[in-house]
Copies of this chain bind each other. A is one copy, B any other.
Amino acid sequence: MAFIFELPKEINDVLSLIINELGNLLNGVNMPPNLRESAMHYIHNKGKMIRPLLTLITTHTLGGNLMDAVNPAIAVELVHVATLLQDDIIDGHLMRRGSETPFKRYGTEYTILASDLLIAKAIEYSLKSKTRRITMELTSAALRLAIGQSYELEYKLNGKVDMNIYMRIIENKTASLISAAIVLGGYVADADSNTINLLRSLGEKLGAAYQIRDDIIDYLNLDKDNPKGLRSVDVNVIDALKAEGFSDPLKEAYRLFMGYMSEARAITASIRGGEVFAGIIDFLQDPLTKLIEGNKNQV
A binding-site residues for B, Cβ under 8 Å:
29-32, 34-35, 86, 89-90, 108-110, 112-114, 116-117, 119-121, 123-124, 127, 132, 135-136, 139-140, 142-143, 145-147, 149-151, 153-154
Contact = CB atoms under 8 A, between A and B. Distances in A.
B113 A139 contact: no
B117 A151 contact: no
B116 A142 contact: yes
Contacts of A146: 35, 113-114, 116-117, 120
A294 B136 CA distance: 53
A31 B153 CA distance: 11
A127 B139 contact: yes
Contacts of A121: 143
Contacts of A143: 29, 117, 120-121, 124
Contacts of A153: 32, 109-110, 113
A112 B135 contact: no
Which 8 pairs show the lowest CB-CB distances between chains A and B? A116-B146, A120-B143, A35-B150, A120-B142, A113-B146, A117-B146, A123-B139, A90-B109
A124 B136 contact: yes
A34 B150 contact: yes
Contacts of A89: 108-109, 112
Given A110-B153, A142-B116, A35 B124 contact: no
Determine which residue in A89, A112, A119, A154 has the highest number of CB atoms from chain B within 10 A of its CB, and name it.
Answer: A112
A127 B119 contact: no
B150 A124 contact: no
A176 to B, nearest CB: 11
A9 B265 CA distance: 58
Contacts of A147: 29-31, 35, 113, 117
30 contacts: A29-B143, A29-B147, A32-B154, A34-B150, A35-B147, A86-B112, A86-B116, A89-B112, A90-B113, A108-B108, A109-B150, A110-B153, A113-B146, A113-B147, A116-B146, A117-B147, A120-B139, A120-B140, A120-B142, A120-B146, A121-B143, A123-B135, A123-B139, A123-B142, A124-B136, A124-B140, A127-B132, A127-B139, A132-B132, A135-B135
Contacts of A35: 146-147, 150
A34 B152 CA distance: 12
